[in-house]
Chain A
Amino acid sequence: MTDVKIDIQPDMTTEVTATERADVRSYLRQWAMPHVLCPGCAHGIVLRSFLEAVDQLQLDQDKIAMVAGIGCSSRLAGYVDFCTLHGTHGRAPAFATGLKLARPDLNVVVVTGDGDGLAIGGNHLIHAARRNIDMTVLLLNNSIYGMTGGQAAPTTPEGAIASTAPQGHIEPGFDACKLLMGAGASYVARVFAANPIEMTKVMMDGLSHPGFAFIELVSDCPEYFGRYNKIGGGPEMLNWIAVRDEGIAGPLSEKRFVEHIPVKPPAIGVKSGVLQREIRPVYAGVRAAEGQHT
């Protein structure tokens, strides 16, 4: 097995002109809109960036299979006009593995949340990464269990208030990217929902990556996390996640998403960008079973 390390960030310089851009709403299931997500929830911003990435890569709608588990983030699969599969809690990577092995021609995308992917389905996620199944995993991290009422999740930062941690969470939060790097994911990136252009570029990069691509999207939950921690609604939460973005090298300055919106703690900085990229053999079970080793 040869590990080829490429330390190149995706090209952030290319601009897409307005005339080349399609209306990404044409990728939505119109009859299902507007979606159920709460006002100001950044999951919608992530979905939009994903659709722009699909549009710019000119992927065939019928060749994309979006597999989801349970949770707010997993609801996104219900609104896109691709092949979609809404599975059981935490098992989206398992469904996706089976799907990819049976239908290698499909572009398999898993959309999962921090609770779905790291707590209930942590096991499935790390083994899909270890096998290097050719799929793209979008993990929307909103730091809390949003759909079930704001319980503390594995990613809830220490000190944050949740419905099951009314005096502040006593456990440290999870670093999903470090976990997946340890599990052997060949592509690991983290992007912030407050940076839609960077999100689109990294998603294009991840969708084009041969092998297991894991993208953590730092999203938010204004309804529970923002309310319990007295941060505020959608705009304030976007600001809160934007100030945590440290880029690849560490904090540049005290940047604010919107200057006049104050930032309240706890806001722990995390690195963003492409954190790992390597090319290694992709698990191709069907071919292996037929004895056609590649």
Chain B
Amino acid sequence: MSDNSKGLLLAGVGGQGVILASMIIADALMRAGFDVKQSEVHGMAQRGGSVVSHIRWGKEVASPLVEKGSAEVLAAFEWAEAIRWVDYVRNEGAVVTDIKTIVPPGACNDTHAWSTAYPRFEIDLFRSRLIETRFVDATANAVQLGNVRAANSVILGSVAAFVGIDLIHWEEAIASLVPKGTEEINLAAFHAGMNAPMAQIPAPPAEPAEYLGPHLIDIQQDWCKSCDICPRVCPEHCLKLDTDGTLLVINADACTGCRLCEMLCPDFAITIRPPAAAEHHEPAISGRKM
């Protein structure tokens, strides 16, 4: 960057406090006498989407956006977001990341077995660019202090060393920006973050169970009254009411076994059987005779 300014990136998931944390950093930098510009992207954030905030500071800053490969440090509130935004960090920079995992909806690649492709924690992942990775268990630290929502202050404490301004500016910025009544816990969380040890990398998640096939949709036609509830509630559009009122299974392979149709059938006409049980067909139901 031509104007000798420095850049920092914060990345996380909607609801983690990324925006507030970036406001605190910007405020602390202004208190330290820098010119600061900050910009964020939080489009689908409320639905658990990616949130990223750029901060640039220096003697005079013209634009808020951090150029790729120029940020001093990436403060990630979640491991997948760290990988998503690491391109912005300069060679020999640093990544500070929470060891929290939030599986994005798009990472679920199999609606049958619900298996997900979440990246594994690897301390050497960014080693080729000489980027130092620092894992912080911010959530556990915040829970220990009594409020999980202070996790963003723990991350702030962990990145403070990379910003290089006096502690007093941080403390003033936190006290003035966090919600009233939470100043104490956020300051405690900030200090905990400054002294946080390298976190233990959590064990990778267990492999998903083998996919046994779709569930079996068993329709008792003589009890069905063609009320059209099940075709309308099926999320996978497995069922269809024919023009003559017969209930048809049109997409049997897509059944995930959510049982909405079974539970919402007023006429007991649908039974969903798991794939394992579907192999050995149960005999017809044996009611007691009156």
Number of chain B interface residues as a range: 20 to 34
Given contacts A18-B274, A30-B285, A45-B265, contact A39 B290 (CB under 8 A): no
Query: Are A235 and B233 in contact, with the CB atoms below 8 A?
Result: yes
User: Min CB distance, B242 to chain A, in Å?
Assistant: 15
* Cβ contacts under 8 Å, A37 to chain B: 266-267
Instruction: List, in ascending order, chain A residues with CB within 8 A of B130's CB.
Output: none
B288 contacts A81, CB within 8 Å? yes
Stretch at the interface among B24-32, B62-70, B157-165, B222-230: B222-230
The answer to whether A39 touches B226, judged by C-beta atoms less than 8 angstroms apart, is yes
Measured CA separation A18–B290 after assembly (Å): 29
Number of A interface residues at 8 Å Cβ cutoff, please give it. 36
How far, in angstroms, from A38 to B273 measured CA to CA in the complex? 27
Instruction: Say whether A39 contacts B225, CB under 8 Å.
Output: yes
Q: Is B271 an interface residue (CB 8 A)?
A: yes
Complex interface: chain B residues within 8 A of A233 (CB):
227-228
The CA-CA distance from A138 to B227 in the complex, in Å, is: 24
Select B229's contact among A18, A26, A235, beta carbons within 8 Å. Answer: A235
B270-290 CB mask vs A (1 if < 8 Å, else 0) is 010110110000100111111
Q: In residues 113-166 of chain A, which contact B (Cβ within 8 Å)?
A: none
Query: If the complex has contacts A18-B274, A41-B266, are A234 and B287 also in contact, measured as CB distance less than 8 A?
Result: no
Quick check: is A248 within 8 A (CB to CB) of the other chain? no
Q: Is A28's CB within 8 Å of the partner chain B?
A: yes
A25 on the B face (CB < 8 A): yes
- Interface: B264 (CB within 8 A): yes
Interface residues in A229-251 by Cβ distance below 8 A to B read 233-235, 238
Interface flag for B268 (CB, 8 Å):
yes
A197 touches B263 (CB 8 A): yes
When the two chains form their complex, are residues A18 and B277 in contact, meaning their CB atoms are under 8 A apart? yes
Known contacts A18-B257, A42-B266, A234-B266; is A30 also within 8 Å of B287 by CB?
yes
> Does A87 interact with chain B (Cβ within 8 Å)?
no
A15-41 CB contact bits vs B (8 Å, 1 = yes)? 000110001111011110111011111
Complex Cα–Cα for A28 and B276 (A): 25
Q: Nearest Cβ in chain B — how far from A215, in angstroms?
A: 17
Contact between chains at A196 and B264 (CB < 8 Å): yes
Residues of B contacting A267 in the complex (Cβ-Cβ under 8 angstroms): none
Does B84 touch A at the CB level, under 8 Å?
A: no
Contacting residues of chain B (184-234) with chain A, CB-CB under 8 angstroms = 222-223, 225-229, 232-233
Flag if B232 contacts A235 (CB, 8 Å).
yes
Known contacts A18-B257, A30-B287: does B227 contact A234 (CB below 8 Å)? yes
CB pair A26–B285 under 8 Å, yes or no, is: yes
Q: Which residues of A contact B226 (CB under 8 A)?
A: 39
Inter-chain contacts of A89 with B (CB < 8 A): none
When distances are taken between beta carbons in the complex, the residues of chain B under 8 Å from A194 are 264
Residue of B228, B268, B269, B271 touching A234 (CB-CB under 8 A)? B228
Any B CB within 8 A of the CB of A261: yes
Contacts of A44 in B (CB 8 A): 265-268
Q: A37-B266, A41-B266 are in contact. Are A258 and B225 (CB under 8 A)?
A: no
Residues of chain A from 35 to 56 with CB closer than 8 A to chain B in the complex: 35, 37-45, 48-49
Residues in B neighbouring A30, C-beta threshold 8 A? 285, 287, 289
- A49 CA / B266 CA spacing, docked (Å): 10
A26-B285, A238-B229 are contacts. A45–B274 as well, Cβ < 8 Å? no
| Interface contact B267-A34, CB-CB below 8 Å | yes
Q: CB distance B233 to A258 under 8 Å?
A: yes
Q: Which residues of B contact A34 (CB under 8 A)?
A: 222-223, 225, 267, 269
Of the candidates B223, B264, B287, the one having the most CB atoms from chain A within 10 angstroms of its own CB is: B264
Contact residues in B for A43 (Cβ distance below 8 Å):
266
Q: Tell me the complex Cα distance, A37–B266, Å.
A: 9
Known: A234-B227, A238-B229. Contact between A25 and B285, CB under 8 A? Answer: yes
**Smallest CB–CB gap between B20 and chain A, Å?**
24
Check A33–B232 contact: CB distance below 8 A: no
A166-199 to B contact mask, C-beta < 8 Å, 1/0: 0000000000000000000000000000101100
With A26-B285, A26-B287 in contact, do A49 and B222 touch (Cβ < 8 Å)?
A: no
Measured in the bound complex, the distance between the Cα atoms of B222 and A180 in whole Å is: 40
Q: Mark B154-185, 1 if CB is under 8 A from A, else 0.
A: 00000000000000000000000000000000
List B residues 109-140 near A (Cβ within 8 Å): none
User: A-contacting residues of B (Cβ < 8 Å)?
Assistant: 222-223, 225-229, 232-233, 257, 263-269, 271, 273-274, 276-277, 282, 285-290
For this complex, 29 residue pairs linking A to B, each with C-beta atoms less than 8 Å apart, are: A18-B257, A18-B273, A19-B274, A25-B268, A26-B285, A29-B287, A29-B288, A29-B290, A30-B287, A35-B267, A37-B266, A39-B225, A40-B225, A40-B227, A40-B228, A41-B227, A41-B266, A44-B267, A44-B268, A45-B263, A45-B266, A48-B263, A48-B265, A194-B264, A234-B228, A257-B233, A258-B232, A258-B233, A261-B232
Contacts A40-B229, A48-B266, A222-B227 supplied; 20 other A-B pairs, CB < 8 Å: A18-B273, A23-B271, A26-B285, A28-B268, A30-B289, A31-B287, A34-B267, A39-B227, A40-B227, A40-B228, A40-B266, A43-B266, A44-B265, A45-B263, A196-B263, A234-B227, A235-B233, A238-B264, A258-B232, A261-B232
